[in-house]
């Protein structure tokens, strides 16, 4: 199986209301943008693809490994950046980077990326003491500690200043040369500037 990311017949309902139905997707290396209005199920789909949410039906494969039947191997091949930036409130920035390096067996922490996002002055601060924009940049930077087959990002450009946004776009373009990157957004201008392959959620089978 050559696809880095694949799902088949995904169904998710909350309180009896269908959110995703009959979702099928196959992606390989490259930059892919999941586009749709707020509330259409983009975040839910990324949570299912990452293993954070279990679908009612269907299956996901990461690098050819089943997320349901070979969870450890599948999860070791992916990195997921959720839209919620308050994940590690008691950690410092360095704590977060070191945790990611340990979990992904990375050889080091990419200080060039930390500098690119202007994070060096904030690494010794507690995560819950950072501004929303700095939390977002910290979480994004942590995704590039180590190497993943699949990178999933939910509305990653939210809260970024202009300089960080420009740096992030260059970083995504470079990463997508060897990684399957799937990001969700309702910002069509962002996707156009990235020259990403646009995936309209409604074409995948969402209700």
pLDDT for 86 equals: 61
pLDDT for 1 equals: 42
Q: How confident is the model at residue 8 (pLDDT cuts 50, 70, 90)?
A: very high
Question: What's the pLDDT tens digit per position in 108-123?
Answer: 999 999 999 999 999 9
pLDDT for 203 equals: 77
Range of weakest confidence among 158-167, 168-177, 195-204: 195-204
Count of C-beta atoms within a 10 Å radius of residue 183 = 24
Conformational region of residue 42, where left means phi above 0, alpha means psi within -120 to 50, and beta covers everything else: alpha
Taking the C-alpha atoms of residue 145 and residue 206, their distance in angstroms, rounded to an integer, is: 33
pLDDT at 206 over 80: no
Query: In this structure, which CATH number among 3.90.1150.10, 3.40.50.300, 1.10.10.60, 3.40.50.880 belongs to the domain 5-204?
Result: 3.40.50.300
Tokens of 199: 């995936």
Count of C-beta atoms within a 10 Å radius of residue 194 = 22
- Show me where the domains of the chain are located: 5-204
pLDDT at 143 over 90: yes
Q: Determine the distance from the C-alpha atom of residue 151 to the mean position of all C-alpha atoms in its chain, rounded to a whole number.
A: 5
Question: What's the pLDDT tens digit per position in 57-108?
Answer: 999 999 999 999 999 999 999 999 998 766 678 899 999 999 999 999 998 9
Tokens of 129: 């003491």
Count of C-beta atoms within a 10 Å radius of residue 39 = 10
The whole-model pTM stands at: 0.92
Range of weakest confidence among 19-28, 85-94, 109-118, 168-177: 85-94
């Amino acid at each position: 199986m050559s696809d880095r990311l694949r799902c088949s017949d995904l169904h998710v309902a909350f309180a009896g209301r269908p959110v995703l139905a009959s979702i099928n997707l196959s992606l390989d290396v490259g930059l892919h943008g999941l586009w749709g209005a707020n509330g259409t199920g983009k975040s839910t789909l990324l949570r299912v693809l990452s293993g954070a949410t279990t679908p009612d039906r269907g299956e996901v494969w990461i690098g050819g490994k089943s997320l349901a039947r070979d969870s450890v191997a599948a999860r070791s091949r992916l990195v997921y950046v959720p839209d919620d930036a308050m994940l590690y409130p008691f950690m410092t920035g360095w704590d977060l980077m070191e945790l990611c390096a340990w979990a992904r067996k990375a050889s080091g922490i990419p200080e060039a990326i930390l500098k690119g996002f202007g994070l060096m002055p904030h690494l010794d601060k507690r995560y819950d003491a950072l501004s929303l924009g700095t939390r977002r940049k910290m979480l994004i930077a942590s995704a590039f500690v180590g190497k993943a087959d699949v990178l999933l990002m939910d509305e990653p450009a939210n809260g970024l200043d202009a300089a960080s946004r420009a740096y992030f776009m260059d970083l995504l373009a470079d990463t997508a040369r060897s990684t399957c990157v799937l990001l969700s957004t309702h910002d069509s201008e962002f996707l156009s500037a990235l020259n990403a392959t646009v995936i309209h959620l409604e074409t995948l089978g969402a209700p």
